[in-house]
Structure 1
């Protein structure tokens, strides 16, 4: 049952943490100004922030759609349903990308009215549309990611291992840290019964990043806390679908403690931007500093921060 709230609940996630570090003003738009923006009676600044929050560029949308079809394939297998071919999965992703293009152009007004149900591409909203080079790059990336998924270590394990226990697949999970709800999205978690190890899989459609290992540490923290799984029994695996590389880690208790400390520090700094921590009422917008960087041009909220031709979001 929906309950109206003037301010959103406070929570923490790795994506929220990264947004906070990137730009405090973007953080304000994303997590506070957009709240209640779906309501007809909300002020226009809330509605516009909510619309902008739902914009996606082609790489992000492509990554989301690839995750969706992979999750569908895995659930089909686990539920004893027929598996889809590589071409069928690619066709599903392509169809959804085409729908997003139509939403962004022909049905733009539908997105404006219901931005959660319809898509808007960043390249179209802020630019001149999709270039032939961008379309070609997306097609190549889709083909490579789908091909590498079918040959990935995780998918081959699933198809060949008789004894395995699946814990999660592409679902939001929540656990509490010092009274704060922490959200994690686990792509796939299963137990290799023969080796008595829990495998945490994160599908990556982009390039390798130094943050990838840190993100996996939060997943290990969740499993150790909520499911009482010893850290030494957790294997963390990044499946880089663009390159076909599979990277595994086993973290030490020290690294898990470090993830916990990073989370605590992040929450502490976020709370400093609240006028009323109990209600999660933020300070005035002007107190959320704008941080100018190279990322400004790709920011969803840059129209809110535009000053002349300089974007400071």
Structure 2
């Protein structure tokens, strides 16, 4: 079967956020990189696909903590006990160190960008900033301690009749002809209530509201659960705070309007909506925020990227 010329159309909070961050970055990520995994793909597609796989130390750290949260829930679910904090810290450090080692070999990453890690800091700056590594080193034991002692994990372990429902499962919803992606970190039920747990390793962000509404919408649609029986616990591990939320049914109209507006904006940049074919690269504007340019994985192939400065 020949490669499809354009990717499937879909929507997600992360796609919306990237679109709002920089239209050109959005183009590289969702369109230029398409089919770039093929060895005979055009050079631009292969380059964009490779850069799409790039990450940074904070993202690797956050992903590692999420992975350990998943393993902690699995451990209790299957064996009735949690891993020791020291073991979790050891595993997170291993994942961080592996990403660093991978990033030292650019040629190997270029040949296998999906199988290896490349840190933005290593690729564009040639090394990890000492202040960044010290910050993560300091945060790691704090986050692990707060993960294991979190209200949600303690409730799941000690409250009567708690049952695991979902764990790190990618789900979809349909809004008209658009597939919407939703992924819950962790969900369990107890005494007729469905409890969604969302782990956060950074600061509070108002953009989380859309994500929480999508979670409730998915549970309502997929499991037929009334909104009043759905609880959302956002665990901010850095501060140790657990924020409790419930979504009202009227908010779903606001959510649908928000998503539809976002979809309309994105489709304005398509030359063929049915095929999900984008307009020219130059039709996708470059952000005027220099900080975003400096953090962008695609800066080496973006004509509008701001030049690197000594402060970086």
Partner of 2:83: 84
Looking at structure 2, the residues matched to 52 and 308 of structure 1 have their Cα atoms a distance apart, in angstroms, of 15
Partner of 1:185: 183
Choose which of 136, 144, 151 in structure 1 pairs with 2:134.
Answer: 136
SS at match of 1:168: strand
Kindly indicate whether residue 235 of structure 2 is the aligned counterpart of residue 233 of structure 1: no
Where structure 2 has 5 or more consecutive residues not aligned to the other structure, the ranges are: none
Kindly indicate whether residue 194 of structure 2 is the aligned counterpart of residue 169 of structure 1: no
SS at match of 1:278: coil
Looking at structure 2, the residues matched to 175 and 21 of structure 1 have their Cα atoms a distance apart, in angstroms, of 22
Where structure 1 has 5 or more consecutive residues not aligned to the other structure, the ranges are: none
- 1:43-82 paired onto structure 2 within 5 Å: 43-80=42-79
Superposed CA deviations along residues 45-93 of structure 1, whole A, max 9, x for unmatched, are: 1111111111111111100111011111211222237632111111111
Contact 2:294 2:306 in 1 (8 A): no
Choose which of 281, 295, 306 in structure 2 pairs with 1:298.
Answer: 295
Kindly indicate whether residue 288 of structure 2 is the aligned counterpart of residue 289 of structure 1: no
Looking at structure 2, the residues matched to 38 and 142 of structure 1 have their Cα atoms a distance apart, in angstroms, of 34
SS at match of 1:171: strand
SS at match of 1:48: helix
Partner of 2:93: 94
Contact 1:220 1:256 in 2 (8 A): no
- Provide the TM-score with structure 2 as the length reference: 0.94
Contact 1:33 1:45 in 2 (8 A): yes
Partner of 1:264: 260
Shift of 1:308: 8.2
Partner of 2:112: 114
Looking at structure 1, the residues matched to 303 and 32 of structure 2 have their Cα atoms a distance apart, in angstroms, of 17
Contact 2:121 2:128 in 1 (8 A): yes
Shift of 1:307: 5.2
Contact 1:148 1:244 in 2 (8 A): yes
Q: Residues 50, 282 of structure 1: CA spacing in aligned structure 2 closer, same or farther, 3 A cutoff?
A: same
**Is 161-170 or 110-119 further displaced after alignment?**
161-170
Contact 1:11 1:180 in 2 (8 A): yes
Aligned length: 307
SS at match of 2:147: helix
Looking at structure 2, the residues matched to 257 and 200 of structure 1 have their Cα atoms a distance apart, in angstroms, of 21
Partner of 1:210: 206
Q: Residues 84, 42 of structure 1: CA spacing in aligned structure 2 closer, same or farther, 3 A cutoff?
A: same
Looking at structure 2, the residues matched to 212 and 173 of structure 1 have their Cα atoms a distance apart, in angstroms, of 18
Looking at structure 2, the residues matched to 71 and 307 of structure 1 have their Cα atoms a distance apart, in angstroms, of 40
